């Protein structure tokens, strides 16, 4: 298996919504974003699958060293072997990969967040950083596109947090800010025991509203000149926002099970969005 094939396999097996958006990219960009996403999966799996905190930290330290080796042109892991040329071709800085690892390490150090400001830093490291690297891979002319990517990454992570409330709580992690639980007269036991109440619905609706605001902010910042090149992010956003809208219809469902879309539904949204963005691009180009 070649490094590119390893990354493709890692991404496909993850079942992520991102996989469906990558399908519409030219080959070089598809290989690049697939390698970056495979790296995300590798370091995320360290935290999720390793129950010994000390061993998990040791593994993350190994990945930091492996990133250093990657930028020296001497990687060992197939994901990093795939990344060597990509980091140069698409101007991906070493610091982004290291900060992503720092974000994953936060899961070893914290399982509660006192305020949204604290949570915002976590979201930036594990999601916005990926958005910034994706923006570089997809290409842009206007620097405002980086602000779009930053905010879209936050929107994705906030959607993930809301979608995975039950799953994360079972792993001992509650990402909903503690001061916001208190604001709605709730505590973490209400989440751990799946207590659906009017106050709980209001809290979850509040979280969904915030995620929607970040989607709106992101797209208000995306320059029209870069919209077509960034269409993969738009595909991702439409898939994720469909999940978010499903949650909004009955927010307490996240206390019972993870909200999800079928692979066929994701593929349909991806195809429809790609078609619409191509049509929009043609109209503007010929205007």
Q: What pLDDT digit, counting tens, does each position of 216-271 carry?
A: 999 999 999 999 999 999 999 999 999 999 999 998 899 988 888 898 999 999 99
Same domain, 145 and 190: yes
By mean pLDDT, which of 48-52, 129-133, 142-146, 155-159 is the weakest?
A: 48-52
Residue finishing a domain among 109, 134, 169: 109
14 with 67, same domain: the answer is yes
Whether the predicted pLDDT of 286 surpasses 80: no
Dmax (CA) of the chain:
59
**Range from 42-51, 62-71, 205-214, 226-235 carrying the lowest mean pLDDT:** 42-51
- Asked whether residue 171 is assigned to any structural domain, the reply reads yes
pLDDT of residue 105: 95
Mean pLDDT of 198-212: 96
Confidence label for 18 from pLDDT (cuts 50, 70 and 90):
confident
Give the residue from 46, 78, 109 where a domain finishes: 109
Q: Are residues 126 and 204 in the same domain?
A: yes
SS (H, E, C) the chain: CCHHHHHHHHHHHHCCCHHHHHCCCCHHHHHHHHHHHHHHHHHHHHHHHCCCHHHHHHHHHHHHHHHHHHHCCCCCCHHHHHHHHHHHHCCCCHHHHHHHHHHHHHHHHCCECCCHHHHHHHHHHHHHHHHHHHHHHHCCCCCHHHHHHHHHHHHHHHHHHHHCHHHHHHCCCECCCHHHHHHCCCCHHHHHCCCCCHHHHHHHHHHHHHHHHHHHHHHHHCCHHHHCCCHHHHHHHHHHHHHHHHHHHCHHHHHCCCCCCCHHHHHHHHHHHHHHHHHHHHHHHCC
12, 140: one domain: no
**Parent domain of 144:** 111-281
**Pair (93, 195) in one structural domain:** no
Whether residues 188 and 117 fall in one domain: yes
Is 287 within the bounds of a domain? no
pLDDT of amino acid 15: 65
Question: Distance between CA 185 and CA 171 in Å, rounded?
Answer: 23
Give the number of other Cβ atoms within 10 Å of residue 100's Cβ: 24
Q: How far apart are CA 21 and CA 25, in angstroms?
A: 8
Same domain, yes or no: 175 and 143: yes
pLDDT confidence bin for 287, thresholds 50/70/90:
low
Q: Are residues 127 and 1 in the same domain?
A: no
Together in a domain, 168 and 216? yes
**What is the sign of the dihedral through the CA atoms of 107, 98, 133 and 150?**
positive
Q: What integer pLDDT is reported at residue 20 of this predicted model?
A: 77
Mean pLDDT across 132-156 = 96
Domain count, the chain: 2
Residue finishing a domain among 54, 82, 109: 109
């Amino acid at each position: 298996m070649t490094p590119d094939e390893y990354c493709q396999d890692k991404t496909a097996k993850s079942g992520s919504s991102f996989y469906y958006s990558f399908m519409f990219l030219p080959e070089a960009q598809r290989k690049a974003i697939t390698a970056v996403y495979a790296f995300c999966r590798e370091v995320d799996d360290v935290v999720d699958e390793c129950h010994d905190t000390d061993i998990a930290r040791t593994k993350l330290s190994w990945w930091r060293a492996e990133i250093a080796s990657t930028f020296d042109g001497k990687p060992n892991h197939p994901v990093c072997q795939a990344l060597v040329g990509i980091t140069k071709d698409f101007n991906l800085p070493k610091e982004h990969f290291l900060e992503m690892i720092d974000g994953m390490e936060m899961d070893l150090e914290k399982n509660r967040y006192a305020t949204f400001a604290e949570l915002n830093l976590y979201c930036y490291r594990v999601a916005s950083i990926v958005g910034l690297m994706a923006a570089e891979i997809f290409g842009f002319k206007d620097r405002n596109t980086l602000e779009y990517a930053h905010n879209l990454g936050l929107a994705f992570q906030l959607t993930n947090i809301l979608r995975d409330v039950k799953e994360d709580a079972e792993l001992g992690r509650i990402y909903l800010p503690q001061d916001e639980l208190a604001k709605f007269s709730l505590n973490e036991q209400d989440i751990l025991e799946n207590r659906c109440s009017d106050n709980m619905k209001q809290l979850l609706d509040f979280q969904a509203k915030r995620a929607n605001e970040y989607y709106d902010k992101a797209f208000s910042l995306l320059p029209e000149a870069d919209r077509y090149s960034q269409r993969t992010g738009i595909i991702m956003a439409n898939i994720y926002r469909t999940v978010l809208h499903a949650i909004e219809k009955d927010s307490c469902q996240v206390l019972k099970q993870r909200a999800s879309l079928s692979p066929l539904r994701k593929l349909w949204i991806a195809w429809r969005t790609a078609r619409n963005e191509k049509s929009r691009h043609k109209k503007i180009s010929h205007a």
